[in-house]
Amino acid sequence: MATPAPIARRVRGLSDRAIAWAFIAPAITLLLAINIFPLLWAIYLSFTNYRANRPNAAVEGVGLRNYERVLTDPEIWQAMQTTAHFVFWTIVLQTVIGFALAYLIDRKFRGHAFWTTIILIPMMLSPAVVGNFWRFLYEPQIGLFAYAASMVTGIPTSEIRMLGDVSLAPWAIIIVDTWMWTPYVMLICLAGLRSIPDYIYEAAEVDRASAWRQFWSITVPMALPFIMLAVLFRGIENFKMFDMVTLLTGGGPGSVTEVASITLKRAAFESWATGRASAFAIILFVAVFGLANIYVKALNKVKQR
């Protein structure tokens, strides 16, 4: 059935730009409502003494005091250090193991599709599920991890207190995050490896380049943009890590696993220091945004080489 003439005329009357706007308007509206407005509101709150648990109290401007307090608070620096330790080691481990797995899977041995699926399972699970079952795995009395570690080291299981020991607890979280997210890094690396044209290797073979030389001169440089992309994604995600740490240790023992997002949550929704928490959130946002921008520029340079 043909479109009635007046409507058709009206639709025909819309410019391409107007139609484009009509299509993106809902998305833009949502973005403004749930991303941009809260961000601007948080920036405003960061300059006030507002506390969300005192809705009737007067809201006064405090200038840069919240920022000053956050930046001079040794506990926040401690939390940042804990976060940096966590981000650094998870990225190192996930990149090395993820790339190694991708390299193996790329050999296309028999049953590689099956093993790829098996390896991908951890990243398909919910962090809440992972956090809970690793808590049981780490149990000194009944946990499989403690049994395995005891068999290897000879230390009694009751002494392997992964979540209660100050020196082991940060590594307990790093292990879980690595277990869960290495497959994700592997997938991205695998895409990178598969994008390398075969003729480059064939040319290298003709030139009698050794496998070692091919790896360092072809595989790594050509997969590097993908590896860097994986590092970027994991870095941003792990900087915000909250759920797994909360489930496994709650930030303890003491404060050794209290990452920045937990400190932020406690300031915002337990102490209800909304203004100060907003300042901290803005600082974190600027830090992540700034670092990510620098990183993306480096990534573009690598891609252009």
Partner 1 sequence: MQMKLKALLGLASALALSSALPNAAKAEELTLCWAAWDPANALVELSKDFTAKTKIDMKFEFVPWTSYADRFLNELNSQGKLCDLIIGDSQWIGGAAENGHYVKLNEFFDKEGIKMDDFVPATVVGYSEWPKNTPNYWALPAMGDVVGWTYRKDWFEKPELQKEFKEKYGWELGPPKTYDQLKQIAEFFQKREVDGKTVYGASIYTERGSEGITMGVTNVLYDWGFQYENPKKPYEMEGFVNSPDAVKGLEFYKALYDCCTPPGSSNVYMVESADAFKSGQVAMQMNFAFTWPGLYKDEKVGGDRIGFFPNPAEKAHFAQLGGQGISVVSYSEKRDAALQYIKWFAQPDVQSKWWELGGYSCLKAVVNAPGFASSQPYAQAFLDSMAIVKDFWAEPSYASLLQDMQKRVHNYVIAGNGTAKEALDGLVKDWTEVFEEDGKI
Q: Pick between residue 4 and residue 254 the one whose CB is nearest to partner 1.
A: 254
Contact between 266 and partner 1 per CB under 8 A? yes
Reported as half-sphere exposure (CB side, CA atoms, 13 A), residue 80 has a value of 14
Cα gap 67→63, rounded to integer Å: 9
Verify binding: residue 138, partner 1, rule CB under 8 A: yes
Cis peptide before 225 (omega within 30 of 0): no
Binding residues among 202-261 for partner 1 as defined by CB under 8 A: 246, 249-256
Residues in binding contact with partner 1, number by CB under 8 A: 33
CA end-to-end distance (rounded Å), the chain: 55
Closest of 83, 98, 125, 124 to residue 237, by C-alpha:
83
Tell me how far apart the alpha carbons of residues 272 and 256 are, in angstroms, rounded to a whole number. 23
Say whether residue 157 binds partner 1 (CB under 8 A).
yes
Q: Which of 79, 101, 119, 273 binds partner 1 (CB under 8 A)?
A: 273
Binding mask 56-85 for partner 1 (x = CB under 8 A): xx----------------------------
264-296 CB burial, b ≥16 within 10 A, e <16: beebbeeeebbbbbbbbbbbbeeeeeeeeeebe
Give me the least distance between CB of 243 and partner 1, in Å please: 12
Which CB sits closer to partner 1, 214 or 266?
A: 266
Verify binding: residue 272, partner 1, rule CB under 8 A.
Answer: yes
Site residues (CB under 8 A) for partner 1? 52-57, 138-141, 143, 157-159, 161, 163-164, 166, 246, 249-256, 266, 269-273
